[in-house]
Amino acid sequence: MRNLLLADPDKDLVEALAELTRNLLIEIHLRDCHVFTTCSSYEAIEIMERQPMDLLLADYNLAGINGLELIRTVYLREWKNTARILSAHACSVDYLIDVSVRYGVDTVMQTPLRREELKQNLKRFLIGDSWINRQRAGN
């Protein structure tokens, strides 16, 4: 079973994103997935401490610590099996791409998220070589 955590400050948006993600997972033939949601970076850390995640999609504008710092926390705790995706508004994307490597971000996606780009990233991080490499790295 694969576990995904979606973190966005807007409760309605994160629930809609979870529904879209579930549908995309079915499209790419991954039915053994559980999608968790949160609106708080601190709650995201608590969830990840209890349940290992295969993918974290965090919005930059999270309450508490921002999404970049959340991903950095995951990276520093060496949760190697977790793919880390940061989403941000267009005006921030170029800056975040430049600094994100130092923070352990695997990719940056521009909001509003595009369905096909999200689908491709789900495939990449939950099925493809990236998935296999993270499984070999272990936690």
Q: Where are the domains of the chain?
A: 2-128
pLDDT band at 138 (very low <50, low <70, confident <90, very high): low
Beta carbons within 10 angstroms of residue 85's beta carbon: 23
Nearest to 22 by CA among 7, 3, 41, 43: 3
Contact between 96 and 68 under an 8 Å Cβ cutoff? The reply is: yes
pLDDT band at 132 (very low <50, low <70, confident <90, very high): low
CA atoms lying within 13 Å on the CB side of residue 46: 7
pLDDT given for residue 57 in this prediction = 97
Kindly state the average pLDDT of the residues 74-101: 84
pLDDT band at 81 (very low <50, low <70, confident <90, very high): confident
- Whether the per-residue pLDDT at 96 is higher than 90: the answer is no
Kindly state the average pLDDT of the residues 53-58: 96
Contact between 18 and 6 under an 8 Å Cβ cutoff? The reply is: yes
Of 11 and 104, which is predicted with more confidence?
11
As a CATH number, domain 2-128 is 3.40.50.2300
pLDDT given for residue 13 in this prediction = 97
Residues 20-40 as b/e (b if ≥16 CB within 10 A, e otherwise) read bbbebbeeeebeebebbbbbb
